[in-house]
Structure 1
Amino acid sequence: MITKLIVRGMLVGLLAGLFAGVFAYTVGEPRVDRAIALEEAAAASAGTGAHSHEAAEPAHSHGEEAPVSRNGQRFGLFLALALYGLALGGLFALVYAGVRGRVGPRSEPLLAVSLAAAAFIAIVLIPFVKYPANPPAVGDPETINQRTVLYLVAVAIGILSVGAAAAAHRYVSSEEAWPRWLAGGAALLVPVTAAWILLPGIDEVPEGFPAGLLWDFRLASLGTQAVFWLGVGALFAFAARRRSPA
C-alpha cells in the first residue's frame, strides 16, 4: 500500500514539476534573459575601462561563451523541476501517509490540498519573505555558502513553525474553532517573526539594477513554486478521490 502511495506521489510530483517548468519557461525565462544581458553589458563596460598597459594581457572570460548554452539551460530547467517533483512527490506521499487519519481533515482529497498548502508555506513562502530569489548578476559569489546555509535555516524554521501551528491547532481543547485557529496562528507567526528579526539580512543587489526586473524575477520564481504545489495538491487530491470516491 505504502509503495503504491509513494509511486503515486512521484508521478504526481513529476507532472507538477513539468507544469511548473512550463510556467518558469514562459514567465521566468524572459527575466533571466534580461538579467544576463545586463550582466554581459556590465562586464563589457568594465572591460573597456581597463588600463591601457593591461591591453596585452588576456582579457577576462566575461566574453567567452557559457559552458552550457541557453537552450541547454532551458532543457536543464525542465529536467531539474522534473527531478525536483519526483523527489518531493515521494516525500509528500510519505508525509501524507503519516498524517492521514491522525492530523488534518478526514477527507483524503481535502487533506492532500491542505498538506500541499502547508508545504508551500513552510518551504517556499516563509523562506522567501526573508531571502527571496535573485536573478543572474545579483549576488556575490564569495557569499554563496553563507547564503545557502541561511536559506536552509529559513526552510527548517518554516517547517518547524508550520508543524508547531498544526500541533497547537490540534491540541487546544475548545468547542469553538477560533481559539484553535488563534493558537495555530500564534505558533506559526511567533517563531517566524523572531527568525525574520534575528537572521542576518542579505542585500547584494548592485547599484543601478532595475528594481522592476528584480521583483518580476522574484515573483516569477515564487509563482513557479506556487504552480508546483498547486499541481501536487490538486493532482494528489484527484487521485485520492478516484481511489476512494465515497
Structure 2
Amino acid sequence: MTARTFLINGLIAGLFAGFAAFLVAHTIGEPPVNAAIAVEESSSAHEHAEAPAGHHHEENGIVVSRHNQSTWGLLTGTLSIGTALGGLVALAAAGVVGRIGRLRPTQSTALVALIGFASVALVPFLKYPASPPAVGNPDTIGERTGLFFGFLAISLVAAIACTVLASRLLPGLGTYRTVIAALAAYLVVVVLAAQLMPTVNEVGTFPAQTLWTFRRASLTTLATMWGTIGLVLVGLVGRAHQQAAVESARRELAASL
C-alpha cells in the first residue's frame, strides 16, 4: 500500500469522525456552552448596571447568530478538523508500517491512533483543560494558548521519541518489558514538564458544575473524533491491505504460469 492510499482512507475516516464529533458536541456540548454564555451575559449586565451614566458599548463586525454557531458553524468546524486530523494520522500510520516489530498494517495504524489520542488530546487536556465562555482573562488568552501548544508539542515529541525507543528495544526486551519501558519514559517526560510549566487557574466564581460538564463534554468530543478516526481508518486500511494481498497473489500466480 502507498502513502496515497493511506491518505485517501484517512481523509474519509476524518469526514466520518468530524460528523460523529459534531453529533456529540451538539448533543452534550452545547447545553453547558449555553449555560456558560448565560453566566457571561449575566455578569456583563451586572457590570453595565454599575457603570457610570453615559457609558455605551458598541460592537462592530459581522454578528453570527448563536443558532448558526451551534449548527452549521459547529459542523463546518468539526468536519474541517476531522478531515485534516484524519489525513495526518493516516500519513503517520503510513510512515510506521513495517517499522514497529511484526505488527500488521491494521495493528500499527490502531497503535498510531491510540498514541495520537493520548499525546495530542488526552495528556494536554489534563494539564490545560478547555474552558467555556466567561472563564479566563481575555488579556491572557495569548499566553494560555502558547502554554497549551507548548505542552502539546512536548507531549507529541516525547511520544514519538518513546515509540522509536520502543522499536529498538523490542528485539532484546520483548513486547511486555518494551511497552513498560517506553510508557515509563513518556510519563517521566510529561509529568516533569507538567510540574515545571505554569498552572493556569482563572476560573474565579464560575459555577463548578457547569465547568465540569463543559470539560467532560469537550473530552468526550475529542475521544469521539479520535476513536472514530481510529476505527474507520483501521477498517479501511485492513480492506486495502487485503485487496493488495489478493492482487499480489494473483500476479504471482500469473507469473508462474
TM-score between the two structures when normalised by the length of structure 1: 0.91
Distance of 1:109 and 1:9 partners within structure 2: 13
Distance of 2:194 and 2:173 partners within structure 1: 33
- Report matched runs for 1:1-246 at 5 Å: 1-50=2-51, 54-55=52-53, 57-61=54-58, 67-74=63-70, 75-103=72-100, 106-172=103-169, 173-207=171-205, 209-245=206-242
Structure 1 runs not aligned, ≥5 long: none
Q: CA RMSD in A?
A: 2.0
Q: Between Structure 1 and Structure 2, whose CA radius of gyration is higher?
A: 2
**Residues 171-206 of structure 1, C-alpha deviation per residue, up to 9 Å, x if partnerless?**
225354332122112211111011111101111112
Letter of the 1:29 counterpart: E
- How much does 1:79 deviate? 0.4
- How much does 1:24 deviate? 0.4
- How much does 1:40 deviate? 0.4
TM-score between the two structures when normalised by the length of structure 2: 0.87
- How much does 1:66 deviate? 8.3
Identity %: 38
Report how many residues are paired: 240
Judged with a 3 Å threshold, the aligned counterparts in structure 2 of structure 1 residues 104 and 17 are, in CA distance, closer, same or farther, namely farther
Judged with a 3 Å threshold, the aligned counterparts in structure 2 of structure 1 residues 69 and 10 are, in CA distance, closer, same or farther, namely same
The answer as to whether partners of 1:112 and 1:237 remain within 8 angstroms in 2 is: yes
- How much does 1:61 deviate? 4.7
Q: Secondary structure at the match of 1:82?
A: helix
The answer as to whether partners of 1:168 and 1:187 remain within 8 angstroms in 2 is: no
The answer as to whether partners of 2:162 and 2:186 remain within 8 angstroms in 1 is: yes
Judged with a 3 Å threshold, the aligned counterparts in structure 2 of structure 1 residues 66 and 49 are, in CA distance, closer, same or farther, namely farther
